[in-house]
Structure 1
Amino acid sequence: MLQLKLYYHAKPYLPWRFRMATRRFFAKRKRIRYSGSWPIDPPSGAVPDDWRGWPNGADFAFVLSHDVETQIGYNKLDELLEVEKQLGFRSVINFIPEGEYSVSERRIQELIERGFEVGVHGLYHDGKLYNNRATFESRAKRINRYLKQWGATGFRSPLMHHRLDWLHSLDIAYDSSTFDTDPFEPQPDGLGTIFPLWVERKIANPESLTANQENQISDRRSAISGGKSKKPNGYVELPYTLPQDSTLFLLLRESSNAIWKEKTAWIARQGGMVFLNTHPDYMDFKGNGNASSFPISYYADFLQHVKESYGGQYWHATPDRVASYFVGCGDR
């Protein structure tokens, strides 16, 4: 973590081209080193012992999310969501509450009315959320205010940093700051599964909880289980399972979406969760073609491929619905 802290202190002063060139240099070597576990890590396909399958007997789940990092990404959002809407898909849009753009309550409500979900993407996008516990707890209070204000139940840390044990301080139903396998991330420790995971809230002395704490946690569990009473003991972790767009097209400079399609086929055979996270910031809707973006056609073609090749085989849901279903499957 010390190296990460030093890097994110220096990052604002390093040119984008220099940072990307350095990352690409190391990425080439990592791709060779981890060729046996990326993009597919075979052990991650193991079905959990208590797994009860997807709703309506679906073979696999199909989940989409977008992290909006900059004003540029925010400005492109409507074009991106129109692509999904035309193909019959919906996603969660994760906003940075105190980033370089502002999100109005009207915007939040409009997205929800259109069938999309809204999530919280850190507080800032500075890579310092987990610098120390005091910093995290201070930011957690403000993050919780945005969760409540936006009616959001999901969280994702910027840069996929994660300390799952700390996230119990957030009023969330689920987190999606992890992955099954991704050696290219700053914190490359994957969960090693393509299925949802329950993150237990470990309380040394449950009797020490105040009445207010018990009510807050109970309300959170009730919100994601359709009002059913659940134990106040954790949240759902939803790892992304397809390589992110920035990894494939900017870092590794892939010229097609073949890896998305190949891994989707593998996950479908295992009965897992296809979870793709992308960024409107890096999508090119104008055909400009530059080093910091990729054609929107890669994404649109992938959605079309899933729709045509797997029609009737998958359960398409936003992450909040996946978390709700997962909690409802067992007495957690």
Structure 2
Amino acid sequence: MRNYNHDVYPKSSFNFANEMNNYLTDYYRCPEQYAHLALKESPLVSRGYFRFGDCGTYFGKYHGRQLASRATETLHDGLSDAVIEEGSVSLCFDPAEVIENLRQELYAEDDSEGLSSLVAQAYYFVRPLLPVSVRSKLQKFRLRGWNKLKFPQWPVDCSVDLLLERLLLLSLRANKIERIPFIWFWPEGKSSCAIVTHDVETKVGRDFCRVLMDINDSFGIKASFQVVPEERYDVPMEYLDSIRQRGFEVVVHDLNHDGRLYKNRKQFLERVAKINSYGRQFGAKGFRAGVLYRKQPWYDAFEFSYDMSVPNVAHLDPQRGGCCTVMPYFLGNILEIPVTTIQDYTLFNILHDYSIDIWREQISLIMARHGLMSFIVHPDYVMGQQENGTYQSLLKHLATLRDEKSLWITTPGEVDSWWRQRTQMRVVEKQDGWGIEGPGKERAVLAWASERDGRLVVSLEGANEPDLQYPSKAAEQNWQSETTSR
């Protein structure tokens, strides 16, 4: 997250234009010389929802037109206002602001009162005494109507990724070139990425971790274990060592998982000091809040390298919203690795679904965008025969995709390390063509973005396979609405 005030534009229009273009070049890691985005100024500046092509929903300031106040209303197509002139793409909105509004969920209503309400406090006070069957009924009642929500888009929302893809295509047209080089998203040219994470909520779940590691190892899939430091169960160092010695990772999971981490700023700072201390004690680089509660403006207090608390689409979580991207992104110095798939608890106890159909659908949509799929599977909820069988079916499916579709299955810590390395790499032009410079470049692959039939296609340098086209027209209705060229 950049230090960027969207309510007061920087005095320098040059710096402002750089900020807009940086979001495009940071995402693709492409040369800055190809990014020429500009903002159309207008006396009329409204704030609301719009679209940019046939898919994706966006929220922010818009110049020259009144916008919808709700995502459910008819949305104006901002792509129709985009103009290509003199080698630049002029827009009626600032992509930097719009992207941050999605990534930080700034479009969502403040839910802080709901998180600290008397009802919520009462629920978490008695929660340890409630059987799963009772808890699931209460949660299902609270989540009623989730399937009628239009935004973010269930089961996966790629609004951020779609916007940046379209801006790269417009940049191709503005530069009047056939292709733009960029650094591929994943090492060794892997098609997409997947991580499996295990939130350990109870002593019973803690004691099942060894069995769960055996299951994971049988499929050759390592994972992270999110451990609650206080009150839920003892956390002996031998337990943490047993996880790390087998190649799995330890992540700090809240402080005591009572749902009150973000109750107020004072209490948060008191708790985060303890959480950071446990992070050092556990040797953990990552953090995840209990119940995926989050307040991104407070993240600067954390001393972790990465966080995993922000859902892609949160219709089935107590705190709704969603970051609308399937790629990691920075919130200050913290890398956010979003939760991009449905949790096992929700699947089993809210939807009463013991198949992997929803997971398979989400995997397909995410892989179409070459994104990251992040799974939360609790040791506490996969001890039953039916639930365990479903989990193993998921692992089998992921292993098949690893073998047949070049899926990179790794751990959150490895994603963090790679994404930080990629951020420091750059594409440079040499006498014999384009190349990649920076630490870790030996794992990076040069890719090319070009246009075909009005759509963006990407291909890898030296790959024998055909171009990797973004989602088919069946998955995403053809969005080649033309811009006005002058």
TMscore range, shorter length: 0.7 to 0.9
Instruction: Tell me how far apart the structure 2 counterparts of residues 277 and 305 of structure 1 sit (CA, whole Å).
Output: 16
Name the residue aligned to 1:323.
Answer: 416
- The answer to whether the Cα contact below 8 Å between 1:64 and 1:91 also exists between their aligned partners in 2 is yes
> Using the alignment, how far apart are the partners of 2:270 and 2:354 within structure 1?
42
| Residue identity opposite 2:255 in structure 1 | L
Question: Higher Cα Rg: structure 1 or 2?
Answer: 2
Q: Is 1:8–1:126's contact at 8 Å kept on the other side of the alignment?
A: no
CA distance in 2, matches of 1:30, 1:139: 32
Q: How does 1:177-256 map to 2 (within 5 A)?
A: 177-200=309-332, 234-256=333-355
Tell me the SS of whatever aligns to 2:362.
helix
CA displacement, residues 86-129 of structure 1 (integer Å, 9 cap, x when unaligned): 11000010000003211111221221111000000011110011
Distance 1:39 1:83 in 2: 27
**Among candidates 34, 38, 45, match of residue 154 of structure 2:** 38
Judge conservation of contact 2:329–2:335 (CA < 8 Å) in 1: yes
Deviation at 1:331, TM superposition (A): 3.8
Is the 8 Å Cα contact of residues 94 and 121 (structure 1) preserved in structure 2? yes
Mark the CA change 1:36 to 1:240 in structure 2 (over 3 Å): closer, same or farther. closer
Per-residue CA deviations over 1:129-181 (Å, capped at 9, x if unaligned) read: 11111111111111111111111000000010011221221210000001111
Distance 1:22 1:95 in 2: 25
Contact between 2:146 and 2:316, CA under 8 Å: does it hold in 1? Answer: yes
**Distance change in 2, residues 1:111/1:185 (3 Å):** same
Q: Report the residue type matching 1:136 in the other structure.
A: F
Higher relative contact order (CA 8 A, sep 6+): 1
Counterpart of 1:116 in structure 2 is 248
1:7-18 mapped onto 2 (5 Å cutoff): 7-11=119-123, 12-13=125-126, 15-16=130-131, 17-18=133-134
SS of equivalent to 2:195: strand
Q: Deviation at 1:26?
A: 4.3
Relative distance call for 1:51 and 1:158 in structure 2 (3 A) is farther
Is 1:73 the counterpart of 2:205? The answer is yes
**Is 2:437 the partner of 1:305?**
no
Between the aligned partners of 2:230 and 2:336, the Cα distance in structure 1 is 24
Query: Are residues 1:295 and 2:387 paired?
Result: yes
The amino acid that maps onto 2:147 is R
> For the Cα contact (< 8 Å) 1:45–1:267, is it kept in 2?
no
2:185 is aligned, of 49, 53, 58, to: 53
2:347 touches 2:353 (CA, 8 Å); kept in 1? yes
Structure 1 Cα separation of the partners of residues 382 and 364 of structure 2: 24
Aligned residues: 292
Q: Is 1:150 matched up with 2:270?
A: no
The AA in structure 1 aligned to 2:418 is Y
Q: 1:192 to 1:51 in 2, by over 3 A?
A: farther
Name the SS for the 2:205 alignment partner. Answer: helix
Amino acid at match of 2:248: F
Structure with more of its chain in strand, by fraction: 2
Q: Tell me the distance in 2 between the aligned counterparts of 1:9 and 1:29.
A: 23
> Is 1:2 matched up with 2:113?
yes
Tell me which residue corresponds to 1:277. Answer: 376
State whether residues 228 and 257 of structure 2, in contact with CA within 8 Å, keep that contact through their aligned partners in structure 1: yes
Q: CA deviation at 1:235?
A: 1.1
Per the alignment, residue 231 of structure 1 pairs with none
2:93 alignment counterpart: none
Number of the residue aligned with 2:227: 95
Distance 1:85 1:262, change over 3 A: same
| Structure 2 length-normalised TM | 0.57
Q: Where does residue 226 of structure 1 map in the other structure?
A: none
Consecutive unaligned residues in structure 2, runs of 5 or more: 1-111, 169-181, 426-486
For residues 168 and 151 of structure 1, what CA distance do their matches in structure 2 show? 19
How far residue 72 of structure 1 moved from its aligned partner, in angstroms, is 1.6
CA contact (8 A) 1:39 1:182 kept: no
Are residues 1:23 and 2:139 paired? yes
The answer (yes or no) to whether the contact 1:30–1:184 under 8 Å persists in 2 is yes
Residues 230-289 of structure 1 deviation map (CA, whole Å, 9 limit, x = unaligned)? xxxx1100001110011111111113111101111121111000110111111134x3xx
* TM-score of the superposed pair, with normalisation by structure 1: 0.82
Q: Quickly say closer, same or farther: Cα 1:23–1:315, change in 2 above 3 A.
A: same
Amino acid of the structure 2 residue aligned with 1:156: R
Report Cα offsets for 1:20-58 as digits up to 9, x if no partner: 223223435212334981112242553677874100000
Query: What is the alpha-carbon distance in structure 1 between the residues aligned to residue 258 and residue 152 of structure 2?
Result: 32
What secondary structure does 1:274 align onto? strand
Q: What CA deviation, in whole Å up to 9, does each residue of 1:298-330 have, x standing for no partner?
A: 111111012124415111211011011111112
Cα–Cα, structure 1 residues 186 and 27, in superposed 2: closer, same or farther, change >3 Å?
closer
Query: What is the letter of the counterpart of residue 5 of structure 1?
Result: S
Following superposition, the deviation at residue 3 of structure 1 comes to 2.2
Question: Residues 44 and 301 (structure 1 numbering): CA distance in 2 closer, same or farther, change over 3 Å?
Answer: farther
Q: Contact 1:34–1:183 at 8 Å: present in 2 too?
A: no
SS in 1 for 2:423: coil
Cα distance in structure 1, aligned partners of 2:311 and 2:348: 18
SS state at 1:165 partner:
helix
Paired amino acid for 2:315: P
Whole-angstrom CA distance in 1 between matches of 2:134 and 2:286? 33
Would the aligned equivalents of 2:401 and 2:407 in 1 still touch at CA under 8 Å?
A: no
2:439 — aligned with what? none
